[in-house]
Amino acid sequence: MTPAKPTACLALADGTLFYGQGFGATGQTEAELCFNTAMTGYQEIMTDPSYAGQVVTFTFPHIGNVGVNPEDDETGDPVASGMVVKWMPTDPSNWRAAQDLSRWLASRGRIAIGGVDTRRLTRAIRQAGAPHVALAHNPDGTFDIEALVASARSFAGLEGMDLAKDVTCAQSYRWNEKRWAWPDGYTPQTDPKFKVVAVDYGAKRNILRCLASAGCDVTVLPATATADDVMAHNPDGVFLSNGPGDPAATGEYAVPMIRNVLEKDLPVFGICLGHQMLALALGAKTVKMNHGHHGANHPVKDLETGKVEITSMNHGFAVDAQTLPDGVVETHTSLFDGSNCGIRVEGKPVYSVQYHPEASPGPQDSYYLFERFAEAMASRTG
Ligand SMILES: NC(=O)CC[C@H](N)C(=O)O
């Protein structure tokens, strides 16, 4: 059989090329490339705001076969820049499917390429680190390769990039969705007990659902909120969300706010970018990882109980545990590479994790962290 003529090309900044079949939108995009090992949840991954500025290659070969639906978006807007898959998506086969993946991507201006040797690509990412890439989809199959490689090289990179301001909410709002956080087990909130301000650096909806399910009445504030903006809501606790880009860049405006909030002695809980910025506010440093952690089966050890949680991960930066100041305890580490996965402030209800206890997609082992936040607020409010 003659292979189909390529209609898409992925160019790495080192000049390596991957040809395949384009789907989704046509055109060209530049980004950093990462790989995600999750076997389910491609829609949640593509709509996780933390993927801004990145093209995602999926190591699981069958992507797209359950289509997409209106409920599984982690935010209202398109976020990841594009996707790379092994097999072209087949027609969706699932009772929840409302649209097929290709049309959905096209309607959101997102480019995708199928038919790529994603194992070779993943090895290249592991060996040389997350590359800068240009991804082009052109149905007539003509590509100016030199220009494409030059575009990949011209991508500025995520280091030093504050992307939270691009994906945060424009205005504050109250989270009042009446929906179960999990398919089973946890009830939607009808009688919230705690007032929580969630600072939105690119928050996933399931985090807000989990907070609500743990008893919180959640008010979401834009990333640039000041400590005065936060305190004006008279919160029982403050939540710092996940988000894209370099934590050090976002920290330029977030760290002063967090330091002020820490002086109020309120319970503070952070996830992912929120974890990194809490660590920065406490005086630690963050580093860029070689290829980061992106998947739904990452083992994390709770150093205080010895228990292992299987977690969802999506980060390309990490807190350098060597830089944690006195009084800040490392609570969790990755069993893949020993990198920091959690901290807490000694004697205070202030803690954060690098991974995603809200899952979506992924295992629900770490939901207890939301309950811990609620308990900290309960013991304060009496
Ligand atoms: N999921 C996140 O919040 C990601 C945090 C940060 N942008 C990183 O890549 O490390």
Domains, the chain, with CATH or none = 8-154 (3.50.30.20), 164-381 (3.40.50.880)
The reported pLDDT for the residue numbered 55 is: 98
| Sequence-distant (≥ 6) Cβ neighbours of residue 308 within 8 angstroms | 299, 300, 301, 302, 335
22-57 burial: b if 16+ Cβ within 10 Å, else e: bbbbbebbbbbbbbbebbebbbbbbbbbbbbbbbbb
Predicted TM-score (pTM) of the model is 0.96
- ipTM for this model: 0.97
Q: Which atom of ligand 1 is nearest to the CA of 314?
A: 1
Active site residues: 272, 356, 358
Nearest CA to ligand 1 atom 7: 244
Q: Which of 201, 53, 187 shows the shortest CA–CA distance to 133? A: 53
Please work out whether the CB of residue 315 comes within 6 Å of at least one atom of ligand 1.
Answer: yes
Cite the annotated binding site for L-glutamine by residue number. 50, 243, 245, 273, 276, 314, 316-317
Please work out whether the CB of residue 239 comes within 6 Å of at least one atom of ligand 1.
Answer: no
The reported pLDDT for the residue numbered 48 is: 97
Instruction: State which of 205, 273, 313 you would mutate to test the pocket of ligand 1, scoring each by most atoms of that ligand within 8 A of its C-beta.
Output: 273
Residues of the chain with pLDDT under 50: 183
Please work out whether the CB of residue 53 comes within 6 Å of at least one atom of ligand 1.
Answer: no
DSSP state letter for 148 = H
CA neighbours closer than 13 Å in the CB half-sphere of residue 173: 11
Nearest CA to ligand 1 atom 3: 242
The reported pLDDT for the residue numbered 188 is: 58
Q: What is the DSSP string of 248-262?
A: HHHHHHHHHHHHHHH
Three-state secondary structure call for residue 96:
coil
Calpha distance 356→164 (Å, rounded): 17
